[in-house]
Each structure stands twice: as structure tokens, then as C-alpha cells.
């Protein structure tokens, strides 16, 4: 196998910069170990020039957050005609915004927890604060409040009493100007990664401190994982079919991760799709790949080869 010239893109100005750099370093090491020539690129205002001058065979995206996952970089790479890993610009844009994604899958008849989207402009310019009580009456308590865009659980809060909704909204608006208020689904959290249109074993997520927040995500040992998830085979099958349906509805390719909750009745609920899943030591996609017998280097190689085939 002759090595390829690969650019691994990570970092940028996203709030998830640190995680992205860690993903990027890991992927770069893996691809170098496979004999590729790898250049690590931090996303900045020289990006396009670097890509044009670099003569890359393929770009591996390990960007998390704004600019990396919202389709901006994907659109540029399409324009430059450079093959890249992961879903295209349109699919990225559809999955990136949770309000858009949930609307899309709900219209396909796929279950996603009921939600209300509240832009900060509605609060500031339309007096929507007067309607906050309706939100909790309508959706019931507890609620999950999350920025419509962004990852890593940043700005996400659980609300157990109506009075907590205002502060949770204010906190979430710091991350994005549209905030979703979602019905809380009590149940088992699972992640289903899809590689080449095939689901990998579902990973069950059991945070030791209860919530799968930033610390639980990125501290090794703070969360227990089970792959495959300890759920009934029929339930798992249903969850996988739902994850695949969402993947197809959005038009994903190569690799994507779906996050779901399975409630006490065994009903899976779609929460979101991550089109540029984390590749760190604690990330869910590498964990799922490992459970399927696929090493991290093999996973990276598979994704690179798929990107080349699709070019």
C-alpha cells in the first residue's frame, strides 16, 4: 500500500477546540502508523491557501463544533474538489442544528422527544418570557434545555422546576441564540455509530455521577460504557433501524453517530446526529468500533478509503 498525502483538520475557534485537537492528534498518529504522510492543520484564515498549496489526496475532518460541523468547511472542500471524510455540506448543516434535525426526523415519523425552540430574539423582542410557563405546562417537567447548535453537552441543563427554566435559558443562550426546551426522557442513553451505512454495536452510556456532562464525557472512568448495550435484542434492533433511518433522512455518508434514549417501555427516542464524531480516548465511535473488532487505526483507514471512493 502506498501512502497518501492526508490533511487532518482540527482545532479552529470552536468552543470544542480542545477536544477537536485531541481527536486530530489521535487520528494523525493512527494514519501515520498506516504509512500515510499526514499534515495536521489548525483551522484559521490561511486554511484555503494551505489546502490549495498542500496537494492533499484527502482531508480527514476531526473538527467539532461551529465551522467544522455546520457544513462550512465541507462546502469549501467541495468547492476546492478535495475529497474529505464524513457527511457533505448539506447533511452536516441539517444535522448540526438540533431544531432542524428534530423537525426533519419528526416529519419522517421517527420519534424524538417533543420540544419547543426559543430564539433569544423572541425573548428580547417579542416578550416571550411571558409564555415560559406554557412551555413547562405543555411539555411537563422535568425538561432538558440545550443550545440548538453545539456539542460536548456545553450549555445543557436539566430543569426540574418551572422556576429553573429562565436561568437555564440564559445559560444556554451564551452558547447559541436558539435554545431548545425538550421533554425529558428517563431511560438508557445509547450511541449508535454508523460506518459505511452499517451500524456498529450500540454503546450504552452510564455516567457514574448521573449526568453525561462535559466532565463525564472527557474524564476516563467517569462514565461506564457497555458495548453492545445491555438492552433487549428487539429494542436494540429497533434503535438501530431508527438511527439508520435518521442517517439516511439527513443524507449522511462514511461515518456518523446517532444519540438516542431508550425509555422504560423500550421505546428509542432520537436526540441528535453527530456528523463529525469525537475520536478521543473516551469517545463513543472508537469504543463502538472496538466492540466490533475494528482497531482505531483500521477505523481511520476505512473512513479514508471511503472518502477516496466517493471522490
Q: Which residues bind another protein (CB under 8 A)?
A: 13-19, 21, 44, 120, 123-124, 127, 129, 132, 152, 154-155, 163, 166-167, 169-171, 173-175, 201, 203-204, 213-215, 217-230, 281-282, 287, 290-291
Name the residue nearer to another protein (CB basis): 83 or 147. Answer: 147
- Least CB distance to another protein at residue 201 (A): 8
Name the residue nearer to another protein (CB basis): 83 or 277. Answer: 277
Q: Please name which of 138, 146, 228, 139 lies closest in space to residue 180, comparing C-alpha atoms.
A: 146
- Least CB distance to another protein at residue 228 (A): 5
- Least CB distance to another protein at residue 193 (A): 14
Cα dist. 102→67, 74, 84, 215, 299 in Å? 20, 22, 26, 26, 28
Name the residue nearer to another protein (CB basis): 254 or 257. Answer: 257
Name the residue nearer to another protein (CB basis): 106 or 171. Answer: 171
Q: Where are the alpha helices (DSSP H) in the chain?
A: 17-33, 47-54, 72-80, 89-96, 98-107, 120-126, 132-139, 165-173, 214-218, 233-250, 284-291, 296-310
3-state SS of 163-195 is HHHHHHHHHHHCCCCEEEEEECCCEEEEEEEEE
Name the residue nearer to another protein (CB basis): 7 or 156. Answer: 156
- Least CB distance to another protein at residue 225 (A): 4
- Least CB distance to another protein at residue 213 (A): 8
CB count, 10 Å around CB of 45? 6
Amino acid at each position: 500500500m502506498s501512502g497518501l498525502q492526508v490533511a487532518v483538520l482540527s482545532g479552529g475557534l470552536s468552543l470544542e477546540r480542545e477536544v477537536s485537537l485531541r481527536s486530530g492528534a489521535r487520528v494523525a498518529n493512527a494514519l501515520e502508523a498506516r504509512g500515510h504522510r499526514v499534515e495536521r492543520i489548525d483551522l484559521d484564515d490561511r486554511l484555503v491557501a494551505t489546502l490549495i498549496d498542500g496537494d492533499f489526496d484527502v482531508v480527514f475532518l476531526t473538527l467539532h463544533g461551529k465551522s467544522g460541523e455546520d457544513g462550512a468547511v465541507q462546502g469549501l472542500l467541495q468547492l476546492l474538489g478535495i475529497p474529505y471524510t464524513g457527511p457533505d455540506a448539506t447533511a452536516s448543516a441539517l444535522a448540526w442544528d438540533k431544531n432542524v434535525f428534530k423537525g426533519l426526523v419528526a416529519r419522517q415519523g421517527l420519534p424524538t422527544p417533543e420540544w419547543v425552540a426559543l430564539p433569544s430574539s423572541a425573548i428580547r423582542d417579542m416578550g416571550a418570557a411571558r409564555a415560559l410557563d406554557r412551555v413547562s405546562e405543555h411539555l411537563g417537567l422535568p425538561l432538558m434545555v440545550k443550545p440548538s447548535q453545539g456539542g460536548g453537552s456545553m450549555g445543557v441543563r436539566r430543569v426540574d422546576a418551572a422556576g429553573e427554566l429562565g436561568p437555564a435559558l440564559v445559560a444556554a443562550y451564551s452558547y447559541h441564540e436558539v435554545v431548545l426546551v425538550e421533554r425529558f426522557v428517563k431511560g438508557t442513553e445509547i450511541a449508535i455509530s454508523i460506518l459505511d451505512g452499517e451500524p456498529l454495536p450500540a454503546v450504552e452510556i452510564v455516567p457514574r455521577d448521573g449526568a453525561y456532562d462535559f466532565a463525564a464525557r472527557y474524564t476516563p472512568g467517569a462514565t461506564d460504557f457497555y458495548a453492545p448495550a445491555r438492552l433487549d435484542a428487539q429494542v436494540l434492533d429497533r434503535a438501530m433501524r431508527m438511527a439508520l433511518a435518521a442517517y439516511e433522512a439527513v443524507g449522511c455518508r462514511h461515518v456518523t453517530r446517532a444519540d438516542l434514549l431508550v425509555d422504560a417501555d423500550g421505546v428509542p427516542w432520537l436526540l441528535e446526529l453527530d456528523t463529525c464524531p469525537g475520536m478521543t480516548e473516551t469517545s463513543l465511535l472508537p469504543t463502538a468500533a472496538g466492540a466490533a473488532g475494528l482497531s482505531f487505526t483500521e477505523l481511520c483507514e476505512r473512513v479514508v478509503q471511503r472518502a477516496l471512493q466517493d471522490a
